[in-house]
Chain A
């Protein structure tokens, strides 16, 4: 009671704000609960959905496999399902500091091999599935994983290059960053899907997924480089003095002294960018790849199920939210330890 009085009704403005918020909650929460749970239709029956007042979760029940796995052959869905779990497993495993040993790279290599075999097939009696048909959650996760795995080290080099004392290197890095930051990701994806094939010698083709992946890496690299540069600039000059005085050569100095401090400073901004990048992968929809969000959109095209967009997008949002929340929670543990 005392807590309520001091914190919610401590002064006139506070009392007004509290009452206003209570009123808004009263007007929104009960109707939402009615809609989402009490009046909801759970059976995958579109007629019952149209007759009913509440949410149509039957739509998700009916379409969840298409949303999660896209156009991957229906009877082979167990393969992307396991691949998705393996990939998530790799991330969770890597989150534990005790496993940060050199053999972690081998674990990833093994994990990615398993994922590749599962997704493509063509061996062990599994039918071959071309990657034009990959889609849904696994596509989102793969684009993010490979995108960050390449973009992050490249962005460190780019950030270092931008601070280099050699004018040519510095100029190239600044030019690259400004050029890429100056265009929207969508236009880069269009360029990758439409223009890139024009420049390749005839006969050479790079598949669409790889082209999209390269465009996303180029894009993320420029943004992450600026974040890391921010971290580098925060390092006091005395740290460089001390490293110089101890005769540490450039790469040792960078790797042992400068980067560990700079990256730690940059963690909040880096995670911000990682999360943005994870969600930006949904833009591959415009060049005809079916990631998680695209599959949601397509599943709404079926005449029987048009009009249940809210439920579909709530479902997609929840999936995105779980991953983003996990990333942001995990990053907190970095900020607090020295």
Chain B
């Protein structure tokens, strides 16, 4: 589903990613973790070209990303994304947030788009909030709306960029529950997160990054049980240590 080959990325003189190789198979759930500034967000943003890589190749669902807007557009239609700060559209209701892209990008009839929207709102367990504006919802509810919004485009792949980092602790679970459910249904997922519990239960593979490189990539049992590198050990002692 995703194939990255020797991908490098610079912000000015700072090298954010260095020769990253990563493949995500259809149906696979990959959790990306690492200290802040390690390049995990940049890595996930390459997949739908919110950032452009400068060296190497990124292939998503058989389409190689380049500067051509058509290629980028084809990939973005197939890839859903959930952000740390939700990024719902504040001037639209929850329902409008969900139907906007299907109606204007995929030209789904409004009626059908609304039915789909209500279906996914029910899936994330907040159908009663459809007529409200994002600012009237709690953080956890907003993030679940954001997940539903991405799902309304019927993506083949979902990207999660620290989806619970901006949430109060009591709301983290409601969002993770929705993500676990999604994973059980077979969605291909790439998740940047510090929630190691989620990684243990859901991930097929944990990718540990540091300094713009993939340092370790292993199934969770192996990664958490016997990390190979000192940097991974240090990181795990910090995130699991309290």
A and B: interacting chains = yes
A-side contacts of B149, CB under 8 Å: 246
Question: Do B88 and A242 touch across chains, with their CB atoms under 8 A apart?
Answer: yes
| Option from A244, A246, A261, A264 in Cβ contact (under 8 Å) with B100 | A246
A152 to B50, CA, bound (A): 31
Chain A 89-123: CB-based contact to B (< 8 A → 1; otherwise 0): 00000000000000000000000000000000000
| Option from B85, B100, B101 in Cβ contact (under 8 Å) with A238 | B85
Question: Do A249 and B80 touch across chains, with their CB atoms under 8 A apart?
Answer: no
B-side contacts of A246, CB under 8 Å: 76, 100-101, 105, 149-150, 153
| CB nearest neighbor in A for B69 | A249
- Shortest Cβ distance from residue B55 to the other chain A in the assembled complex, whole angstroms: 22
| CB nearest neighbor in B for A253 | B104
Chain A 170-207: CB-based contact to B (< 8 A → 1; otherwise 0): 00000000000000000000000000000000000000
B91, CB-defined interface residue at 8 Å: yes
A238 to B162, CA, bound (A): 14
| Option from B48, B101, B135 in Cβ contact (under 8 Å) with A338 | B135
Question: Do B91 and A261 touch across chains, with their CB atoms under 8 A apart?
Answer: yes
Q: A238-B83, A338-B133 are in contact. Are A244 and B50 (CB under 8 A)?
A: yes
Question: Do A241 and B83 touch across chains, with their CB atoms under 8 A apart?
Answer: yes
A314, CB-defined interface residue at 8 Å: no
B-side contacts of A248, CB under 8 Å: 100-101, 104-105
Interface SS majority for chain A: helix
Chain A 233-250: CB-based contact to B (< 8 A → 1; otherwise 0): 000101101101111110
A-side contacts of B90, CB under 8 Å: 261, 338
Question: Do A257 and B89 touch across chains, with their CB atoms under 8 A apart?
Answer: yes
B147, CB-defined interface residue at 8 Å: no
Question: Do A249 and B76 touch across chains, with their CB atoms under 8 A apart?
Answer: no
Chain A 212-254: CB-based contact to B (< 8 A → 1; otherwise 0): 0000000000000000000000001011011011111100100
| Option from B48, B86, B104 in Cβ contact (under 8 Å) with A245 | B48
A256, CB-defined interface residue at 8 Å: yes
Question: Do A247 and B77 touch across chains, with their CB atoms under 8 A apart?
Answer: yes
- Shortest Cβ distance from residue B100 to the other chain A in the assembled complex, whole angstroms: 6
| Option from A245, A249, A256, A257 in Cβ contact (under 8 Å) with B79 | A245
Q: For chain A, give the interface size range.
A: 10 to 19
B33, CB-defined interface residue at 8 Å: no
Question: Do A239 and B89 touch across chains, with their CB atoms under 8 A apart?
Answer: yes
| CB nearest neighbor in B for A244 | B50
A256 to B101, CA, bound (A): 10
| Option from A238, A249, A261, A338 in Cβ contact (under 8 Å) with B73 | A249
| CB nearest neighbor in B for A261 | B91
A108 to B80, CA, bound (A): 43
B117, CB-defined interface residue at 8 Å: no
A260 to B93, CA, bound (A): 13
| CB nearest neighbor in A for B74 | A247
| CB nearest neighbor in B for A260 | B91
A-side contacts of B81, CB under 8 Å: 241-242, 245
Question: Do B101 and A247 touch across chains, with their CB atoms under 8 A apart?
Answer: yes
- Shortest Cβ distance from residue A231 to the other chain B in the assembled complex, whole angstroms: 12
Question: Do A242 and B77 touch across chains, with their CB atoms under 8 A apart?
Answer: no
Chain A 252-284: CB-based contact to B (< 8 A → 1; otherwise 0): 100011001100100000000000000000000
B-side contacts of A264, CB under 8 Å: 91
B87, CB-defined interface residue at 8 Å: yes
- Shortest Cβ distance from residue B42 to the other chain A in the assembled complex, whole angstroms: 13
| CB nearest neighbor in A for B85 | A238
Question: Do A241 and B105 touch across chains, with their CB atoms under 8 A apart?
Answer: no
| Option from B48, B77, B83, B104 in Cβ contact (under 8 Å) with A252 | B104
B-side contacts of A261, CB under 8 Å: 89-91
A246 to B148, CA, bound (A): 12
A241 to B79, CA, bound (A): 13
| CB nearest neighbor in B for A242 | B87
Q: A261-B91, A338-B91 are in contact. Are A247 and B105 (CB under 8 A)?
A: yes
A238 to B41, CA, bound (A): 14
A-side contacts of B76, CB under 8 Å: 244-247
**Contact sample, A vs B, 6 pairs, CB 8 Å cutoff:** A236-B87, A244-B48, A244-B76, A247-B73, A247-B77, A264-B91
Report B's interface with A, CB cutoff 8 A.
Answer: 48-50, 73, 76-77, 79-81, 83, 85-91, 100-101, 104-105, 133, 135, 149-150, 153
Q: A248-B104, A257-B89, A261-B89 are in contact. List 7 more A-B contacts (CB 8 A).
A: A236-B85, A242-B89, A245-B81, A246-B101, A249-B105, A261-B90, A338-B91
